[in-house]
Amino acid sequence: MRNKVEICGVDTSKLPVLTNEEMRELFQKMHAGDLSAREKLVNGNLRLVLSVIQRFSNRDEFVDDLFQVGCIGLIKSIDNFDLSQEVKFSTYAVPMIIGEIRRYLRDNHPIRVSRSLRDIAYKSLQIREKLMSETAKEPTAEDIGRELGIRHEDVVFALDAIQDPVSLFEPIYNDGGDPIYVMDQISDEKNSDVSWIEEIAIKEGIRRLNEREKMILHKRFYQGKTQMEVADEIGISQAQVSRLEKAAIKNMEKNIQ
Give the model confidence (pLDDT) of 75-107 as tens digits.
999 999 888 877 888 888 888 898 888 888 777
Residue where one domain finishes, among candidates 123, 155, 183: 183
Tell me the average pLDDT across 119-137: 87
User: What local confidence, expressed as pLDDT, does residue 38 receive?
Assistant: 92
Residue 115 pLDDT class (50, 70, 90 cuts)? confident
Q: Report the CATH number at residue 240.
A: 1.20.140.160
CATH code for the domain in which residue 53 is found: 1.20.120.1810
What does the radius of gyration of the chain's CA atoms come to, in whole angstroms?
33
Tens-digit pLDDT profile for residues 137-183: 889 999 999 999 999 889 888 888 777 666 666 666 666 666 666 65
pLDDT-derived band at 11 (thresholds 50, 70, 90) equals low
Same domain, 11 and 103: yes
CATH number of the domain at 133, please: 1.10.10.10
Q: Which long-range contacts (CB under 8 A, 24 or more apart) does 166-172 make?
A: none
Q: Which of 58, 88, 108 is the last residue of a domain?
A: 108
Confidence of residue 251 (pLDDT cuts 50, 70, 90): confident
Span 104-130, average pLDDT: 79
The residue segments making up the domain with residue 2 are 1-108
Are 239 and 251 in a shared domain?
A: yes
Q: In this structure, are residues 162 and 121 in contact, taking their beta carbons and an 8 Å threshold?
A: yes
Question: Among positive and negative, which fits the CA dihedral 55, 60, 63, 69?
Answer: negative
Do both 104 and 6 map to the same domain? yes
- pLDDT-derived band at 41 (thresholds 50, 70, 90) equals very high
CB-count exposure of residue 139 (10 Å: 0-12, 13-18, 19+): buried
108, 137, 165 — which closes off a domain?
A: 108
Q: What is the DSSP string of the chain?
A: -TT--EETTEEGGG-----HHHHHHHHHHHHTT-HHHHHHHHHHTHHHHHHHHGGGTTSS--HHHHHHHHHHHHHHHHHH--TTS---HHHHHHHHHHHHHHHHHHHT-SS---HHHHHHHHHHHHHHHHHHHHHSSPPPHHHHHHHHTS-HHHHHHHHHHTSPP--TT-EEE-SSSSPEEGGGG---GGGSHHHHHHHHHHHHHHHTS-HHHHHHHIIIIIS---HHHHHHHHTS-HHHHHHHHHHHHHHHHHHH-
Q: How many domains does the chain have?
A: 3
Candidate from 36-45, 51-60, 149-158, 204-213 with smallest mean pLDDT: 51-60
